[in-house]
Structure 1
Amino acid sequence: MSFVVEVQPIQSDVKNQSIGIDLGMKTLAVMSNGEKAEIPIYKKLDRKARKLQRKLARQLKDSQRRNVTRIKIAKLHNPIADTRKDFMHKVSTKIVKQNQVIILEDLKVSEMLNNRKLSRAISQQEWREFRTLCEAKSEKFGREFQVISRWEPTSQVCADCGFKWGKTDLSIRSLLCMSCGTEQDRDENGVKIIEKVGMGNRHDSKRVQRVCQTSNG
């Protein structure tokens, strides 16, 4: 049997017209309105789980002790997963309820996981799950959900004047624009660019960028 049900979007007042969101590893989401969604701390449980996983790797397959260790690991992962899921639901609901347009940057997570130094931290963030929640709730509340191309130079352009300073090392967290003299936090600057591109201001930024480069020359 199959049913077709028409669901009307839930209407609610919004505080902001749009919001850009940049997903990170230390902070789950940096938002263009200045807010940050800090990741819940569960290092103690994670440390215990990793210790048991090393123990599991040394134990004989199909042994009773290995089975006991496997159950202990599963019990440790349950509260971690529940905490992360609850956190993501609360953050995504708040974002969607308060903003008419939600804009994220497309991330190629599968390629990023090839970095062995960052793969564990990236997989724990569950960026795909967060994006799915925001997209589904946007439809439910009648919001507009957008994803900009990952090739946009969000970390290479000044959000205030549009001047392009080029690629910088990830270790550099603060940048001084050589055009307007504004000191920009890397994450906060990037998320402002995400919002501008998502709202269709890309051409304006490029126009300002050309003016700045000409005046500096």
Structure 2
Amino acid sequence: MEIKRAYKFRFYPTFEQETILAQTFGCARFVYNRMLRVRSDAWYTEKKRIGYHATSSLLTELKKEPEFEWLNKVSSVPVQQSLRHLQAAFGNFFAKRAKYPSFKSKHEKQ
């Protein structure tokens, strides 16, 4: 019989770590909301579905624009993961396990 254990740790970040975490959360939230808007607009205007690979390539193009160069200052892993979360949210919606994906707020749990 295999016994699984879990440990819970409290994290006390320094000021620099708090800044990096806030930037990372902000970038991930921005990308999630932006791609949700792109996917919703494409469906309601053209009845066109946009999947994960299309949003990933849109993210690459977005990072190249000078207006959004701040997206390159954080790790790309959490930003890409936000696209995967959006894809999972749409998958759950189409499988009728959840409501339509909603926009993320700065004031919600991070």
Higher RCO (C-alpha 8 Å, min separation 6): 2
* TM-score scaled by length of structure 2: 0.36
Question: Which has more strand, going by share of residues?
Answer: 1
* TM-score scaled by length of structure 1: 0.21
Tell which structure's C-alpha radius of gyration is larger: 1
Question: Which has more helix, going by share of residues?
Answer: 2
